[in-house]
Chains A and B, each alone.
Chain A
Amino acid sequence: METLRLTPLHAVHNNLGARMVPFAGWQMPVMYTSILEEARAVRTSCGMFDISHMGRFYLEGPHALELLQRTTTNDVSSLAPGAAQYSLIANPDGGIIDDIIVYRISESKFLVVINASNSDKDIAWFKSHAMSGLEPQVVTSETVMIAVQGPHAIDVVSRALNSQEVRRIERFCFSNLSFETSGIKTVITACRTGYTGEDGLELIAPADVAESLWTILQQQGALPCGLGARDTLRIEAGYPLYGHEIDDNTSPVEALLMWAVSLTKGDFIGRDAIARLKAAKPSRKLLGLKSIQRMQPRQGYTLFSNGEKIGLITSGTFSPAHNLTLAMAYIDSKAATPGAVVQIQVRDKFVDAEIIPKKAMLQCAR
C-alpha cells in the first residue's frame, strides 16, 4: 500500500482531534467537529484550512513566461509582478488537465499552485514542454499552505502577522510579509485568493513555522476547518473541482470557464480545439441547481425534465444557511435554462430543483 504523505501540520490536526482521511495521496483532516459548523464559520466569521497538499512549484528563467503562455490558457503576459490569475492547463483536444493559480513574482519568476490529485501529472506535463535549462522547482514538501477565509479573515491575518500591509493586498494580488516566531525570522507569501466565495488570503510559509503560524491564526480567531467544509463552501460558491466538474474530457467551453481562457494571446496547447468547440456551441453546459428538499444530489445522479434525461449531477451539498441543497450539473444546452424546474433522481425518489446560474449559487448560501 502506498504511504500517505503528511503535511507539516499533521501533529496539530491530531492534537485537535481531527478526523483524518486519505485524500490524493495525503492524510488530510476532513473535519474537526462538524462540517456544517466549520462551513458556517467561514460564511460568518473566519475559518482556516491546511491546504499544504496542493502542489507548488516555481518556474524561473528567461523562458518561464513563454512556457506558461504555451501550457496555460489565460494570458500570463497580462500579469504584473505581484498579481496572480486563475488558469487552466488544456490538452490538445481542449480537455482540462487541471485548474491552477499562476503567481507572477517578477518578470522571469513564477509560482504555480496545482491540485494535489494532479500534481505528478501536471509537473510531468510542464517538464515535457519545458525548454532546456527550465526546470520546475517543486516546494510542496518544504512549505505549508494555509487558506484563511471569511469576512473577518483579513483582520485575523493582520493581527496574527502584526501587519497593516495585509489590508492593502488587492484581490488576486499577493505580498511577501515578514513573520517572526521563537527566534525564527521568515517570509510569508500572502495572496488574496480562496476557494470558498468569501474574502480571505492563502498563505505560503516555510514548513518549520507551520505550527506557530497555525496556532497564532487560531488564537486570533480562525476556526480550524477540514476538507469537508471546504467542499461544501466551494460547491455553494459554484467553483469547479477537478474530477467532478472538470477533467481531461471536459472543455472550458461547456464548463463555462472561458473567462480563464485567452484565445487572443497567441498559440497555446489546446487553443485550436477550444476555439473550434466554442464556435460549434457546446451540447451541454455546467449550471447550478437549488432545491428546498433536503436529499443531497451527489455526483452521477441523473437530471430529468418532463421524464426525459437532460443531465448529470457533478457535485452537491446541503447548504445550512437556508436549509437548501445546492448542486452543479452538466445539462443539455437545449434544457439549460435558468429558472426552469427540473427533477433530480435521488435513489428511488425524484426531487424538484431550479436551474440557476453558477454565479447565483453563493447568494443562496448566505
Chain B
Amino acid sequence: MATTPEDLKYSKTHEWVRVEGSVVTIGITDHAQAELGDITYLDLPEPGRVLQYDGQFGEVESVKAVSELFSPVSGTVTEINSEIVDHTEVVNEDPFGNGWLIKVELSDPSELTQLMTAEDYLKFAEAGAH
C-alpha cells in the first residue's frame, strides 16, 4: 500500500509539496513511483527557471513509460536534487525523502490552498488507480 505522509500537500498530477517558509520541496508520490516502476531517467529544470502553477517542469522516465512532471506551485527553482540524476532508483526507494526532485521559492503562496491533503489525495489516487 502506498504511503502518503500527513504533513505534505498533494497535486492531482501526483507531485507532493513540503512547505518550509517561502521555499517548498517538490517530489513525486509513492503512488506515482509505484505506477511508473523502475525510474531510469529524470529531466529536471535548471536552478533559476521560473515555473508556472500546473506547468510542465520536467520528465520522469521508467523502463515502461515516460511521464511529464507538473509544478504544483508557481515560483523560481532554487535547487535541484543532483544526487538522484545518476541514481534514479532513489526516487523509487525513498520518494518523500532522499528522492525529492526540486526546491522552489514561491511567488504566490495562496496557490497552496488548491492542493490536496494526504487524506484527499489517497482517495483521489485510489479512485484513479483503475
Ordered nearest first, which 4 A-B pairs have the shortest CB separation? Answer: A294-B41, A318-B40, A36-B38, A35-B63
Contact of A228 with B61 at beta-carbon distance under 8 Å, contacts A36-B38, A294-B41, A318-B40 already known: no
The residue from A30, A295, A323 contacting B61, defined by CB atoms under 8 A apart? A295
Structural contact, B37 and A295, CB atoms closer than 8 A: no
Closest CB in chain A relative to B112 CB, distance in Å: 30
Contact of A318 with B63 at beta-carbon distance under 8 Å, contacts A36-B38, A228-B37, A294-B40 already known: yes
A296 CB–B CB distance under 8 Å: yes
Closest chain A residue to B92 by CB distance? A34
Binding site for A on B (CB under 8 A): 37-38, 40-41, 43, 59, 61, 63-64, 66, 86, 88, 92
Of the A-B pairs whose beta carbons lie under 8 Å apart in the complex, a sample of 5, sorted by A's number, is A34-B37, A35-B63, A294-B61, A295-B43, A296-B40
Structural contact, B37 and A296, CB atoms closer than 8 A: no
Interface of A is mostly: mixed
Structural contact, A294 and B88, CB atoms closer than 8 A: yes
Structural contact, A296 and B63, CB atoms closer than 8 A: yes
Scoring B61, B64, B66, B86 by chain A CB atoms within 10 A of each residue's CB, the highest score goes to B64
Q: How far apart are the CA atoms of A318 and B89 in the complex, in Å? A: 13
Structural contact, A323 and B86, CB atoms closer than 8 A: yes
Interface 0/1 of A286-299, CB less than 8 Å to B: 00000000111010
B59: chain A residues at CB < 8 Å are: 347
B63: chain A residues at CB < 8 Å are: 35-36, 228, 232, 296, 317-318
A237 CB–B CB distance under 8 Å: no
Q: How far apart are the CA atoms of A253 and B40 in the complex, in Å? A: 34
A353 CB–B CB distance under 8 Å: no
The residue from A35, A295, A298 contacting B38, defined by CB atoms under 8 A apart? A35
Closest CB in chain B relative to A26 CB, distance in Å: 18
Structural contact, A31 and B41, CB atoms closer than 8 A: no
Structural contact, A228 and B40, CB atoms closer than 8 A: no
